[in-house]
Amino acid sequence: MANDIILSLQITAVGMGLVFGAIIVLWGLMSLITSLIKEKDSGEESAPEAAPSVDSGLQARAAAVAVALALAEQELSAAHPLPPPTPSVVSAWQLGLRSRQLVQKGSRR
């Protein structure tokens, strides 16, 4: 009995050791790959090009044109809200069966 407990604890320790060992190995590989990619990217970077300055009035006009185009596209869109579903028509036969089921369920309690 005690031998079984010791064996199960040893198996648990080995299993947990393998899991944590694999996690540490993967963590090391990810940090290695990250450092290699970071070094490669930093070596290729050159001086950023200066963005051309744009007049704020021109930006405001471009924004107004974009809004006008978006509104026009929205009006022409083929997407329309769905109509509400029509209520299902229940025949007298179905109504009788459902009523009988409700009565049977009510009498069980």
Q: What is the pLDDT of residue 30?
A: 95
Cα–Cα nearest to 16, from 6, 8, 26: 8
Tell me the H-state helices in the chain. 2-44, 56-76, 92-108
Please indicate, yes or no, if residue 68 is contained in any of the structural domains. Answer: no
Distances (CA, A) of 95 to 35, 39, 43, 59, 105: 72, 75, 78, 66, 15
Please indicate, yes or no, if residue 6 is contained in any of the structural domains. Answer: yes
Please indicate, yes or no, if residue 89 is contained in any of the structural domains. Answer: no
Q: How many domains does the chain have?
A: 1
Confidence of residue 77 (pLDDT cuts 50, 70, 90): confident
Please indicate, yes or no, if residue 10 is contained in any of the structural domains. Answer: yes
Please indicate, yes or no, if residue 95 is contained in any of the structural domains. Answer: no
Q: What are 1-47's pLDDT values in tens digits? A: 889 999 999 999 999 999 999 999 999 999 999 998 887 666 555 55
Report the amino acid identity of residue 51. A
Per the structure, the complete domain to which residue 30 belongs is given by 1-42
Please indicate, yes or no, if residue 30 is contained in any of the structural domains. Answer: yes
Model pTM?
Answer: 0.36
Report the amino acid identity of residue 67. V
Please indicate, yes or no, if residue 19 is contained in any of the structural domains. Answer: yes
Please indicate, yes or no, if residue 26 is contained in any of the structural domains. Answer: yes
Average pLDDT (54-79) is 86
